[in-house]
């Protein structure tokens, strides 16, 4: 335990200059993609025309091992990260994921460990994840209409498993469960109100996400985005809403509560109202590339450093150097960047993690 004089030294130590990027944004979150594979083929993320049976995913030896992920997480925490989120691809396809959660939860300074999942395998793992230190879970669910659900997930069923996963996660103490609902015009936007209705009066918090131009494979078109302002109007016309203050600086969702007390919903508007200025998220791919933006075109190879014997101090140096040079603000510059003659080769979402 720290003596009082040590804690005084720690509290007056000036912040590590490497923990702020060029726009003054601290590193607060690390999103860790533990698996590039997925058991869905959502067309907006992993269209099956590209991610077919012969697509070459990473080999096991190419993915970071748990000890390597833990070392990187520890370096990020040294630089100020406090929240870890496990994602993918589908993170629950990673064998023994609860063991990783257990190891991450032992890192001094980690305040929150969360998981984003499509929920199909959640009921099998929720209790063990909770017991090993997972705090929260976000489940992606785009529609309750089985046909629309299958269309959004690339022809896969599993809606009942997802709903079951949400119930089991709540019972295991992983609530409040948040939902991620990507909204695409003409595909699932007509099913948004029934989805919200189902979770009104529960502790589940649906968040409606604007469809984004992540990666290069989803053939994104701006007309498929339903701006949050339009969705807000549609929802509020049915159930009046009042805005809520953010829970913390840099929160991505704009929060609202139903005036009749039936709970909370959120809107994530990275296309119509970019929030780059507050972005404190770093990302680690399953093969060990470190990225400073969801729309990044290049990253820093940490696996090579790890596997050639980098010390913990060298890892901190590498991460800190990369973060301190960060000046990404893709969403704020989207229109200009999309007009470029040479399109950007953005990293795909399943690889970088959502």
User: Which residues bind to ligand SAM, rule: CB under 6 A?
Assistant: 38, 44-45, 87-88, 90, 116-118, 140, 180, 182, 209, 211-212, 214, 218, 349-350, 354
Binding ligand SF4 (rule: CB under 6 A), the pick from 27, 30, 34, 42 is 42
Binding ligand SF4 (rule: CB under 6 A), the pick from 45, 141, 204, 214 is 45
What minimum distance in Å lies between the beta carbon of 187 and ligand SF4? Answer: 14
Name which of 317, 225, 219, 323 is nearest 274 in CA terms: 225
What minimum distance in Å lies between the beta carbon of 101 and ligand SAM? Answer: 15
Residue ranges in 133-152 that form contacts with ligand SF4 under rule CB under 6 A = 140
Helix (H) or strand (E) holding 304: helix 302-307
What minimum distance in Å lies between the beta carbon of 296 and ligand SF4? Answer: 17
Return the number of the residue (26 or 88) whose C-beta is nearest ligand SAM. 88
Return the number of the residue (118 or 292) whose C-beta is nearest ligand SAM. 118
Can you tell me the distance from the alpha carbon of 276 to that of 329, in angstroms, rounded to the nearest whole number? 5
Can you tell me the distance from the alpha carbon of 239 to that of 228, in angstroms, rounded to the nearest whole number? 16
Can you read off the two tokens belonging to residue 76?
A: 């990020």
Contact flag: residue 115 with ligand SF4 (CB under 6 A)? no
Can you read off the two tokens belonging to residue 40?
A: 């869905």
Q: Is the peptide bond before 176 cis (omega within 30 degrees of 0)?
A: yes
Q: Which residue stretches of 79-188 are H helix?
A: 97-105, 122-131, 146-152, 159-171
Contact flag: residue 88 with ligand SF4 (CB under 6 A)? yes
Which of ligand SF4, ligand SAM, none binds 330 (CB below 5-8 Å, type-dependent)? none
Asked whether the CA dihedral 232, 233, 238, 242 is positive or negative, the reply is positive
Name which of 302, 279, 343 is nearest 28 in CA terms: 279
The residues near 185 (Cβ < 8 Å, ≥ 6 apart) are 223, 224, 225, 226
Contact flag: residue 46 with ligand SF4 (CB under 6 A)? yes
Return the number of the residue (41 or 346) whose C-beta is nearest ligand SF4. 41
Return the number of the residue (87 or 123) whose C-beta is nearest ligand SAM. 87
What minimum distance in Å lies between the beta carbon of 353 and ligand SF4? Answer: 9
Q: For binding to ligand SF4 (CB under 6 A), which residues are involved?
A: 38, 40-42, 45-46, 88-90, 118, 140, 350
């Amino acid at each position: 335990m720290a003596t009082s004089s040590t804690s005084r030294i720690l509290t007056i130590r000036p912040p590590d200059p490497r923990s702020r990027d060029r726009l003054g944004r601290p590193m607060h979150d690390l999103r860790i993609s533990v698996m590039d594979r997925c058991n869905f083929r959502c067309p907006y993320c992993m269209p099956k025309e590209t991610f077919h049976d012969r697509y070459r995913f990473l080999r096991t030896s190419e993915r970071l091992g748990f000890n390597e992920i833990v070392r990187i997480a520890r370096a990020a925490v040294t630089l100020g990260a406090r929240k870890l989120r496990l994602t993918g691809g589908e993170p629950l396809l990673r064998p023994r994921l609860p063991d990783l959660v257990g190891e991450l939860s032992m890192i001094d300074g980690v305040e929150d460990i969360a998981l984003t999942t499509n929920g199909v395998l959640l009921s099998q793992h929720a209790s063990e994840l909770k017991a090993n230190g997972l705090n929260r879970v976000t489940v992606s669910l785009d529609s309750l209409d089985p046909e629309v659900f299958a269309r959004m997930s690339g022809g896969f069923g599993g809606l009942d498993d997802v709903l079951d996963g949400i119930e089991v996660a709540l019972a295991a103490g992983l609530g409040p469960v948040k939902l991620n609902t990507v909204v695409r015009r003409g595909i699932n936007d007509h099913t948004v109100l029934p989805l919200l209705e189902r979770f009104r009066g529960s502790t589940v918090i649906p968040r409606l996400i604007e469809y984004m131009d992540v990666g290069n494979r989803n053939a994104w078109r701006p007309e498929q985005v339903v701006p949050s302002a339009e969705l807000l109007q549609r929802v509020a016309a049915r159930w009046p809403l009042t805005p809520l203050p953010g829970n913390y600086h840099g929160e991505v969702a704009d929060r609202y509560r139903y005036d009749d007390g039936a709970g909370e919903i959120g809107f994530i508007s990275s296309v119509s109202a970019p929030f780059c200025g507050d972005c404190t998220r770093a990302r680690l791919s399953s093969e060990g590339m470190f990225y400073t933006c969801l729309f990044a075109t290049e990253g820093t190879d940490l696996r090579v450093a790890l596997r050639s014997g980098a010390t913990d101090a060298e890892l901190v140096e590498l991460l800190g150097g990369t973060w301190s040079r960060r000046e990404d603000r893709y969403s704020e510059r989207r229109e200009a960047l999309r007009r470029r003659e040479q399109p950007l080769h953005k990293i795909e979402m399943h690889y970088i993690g959502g």
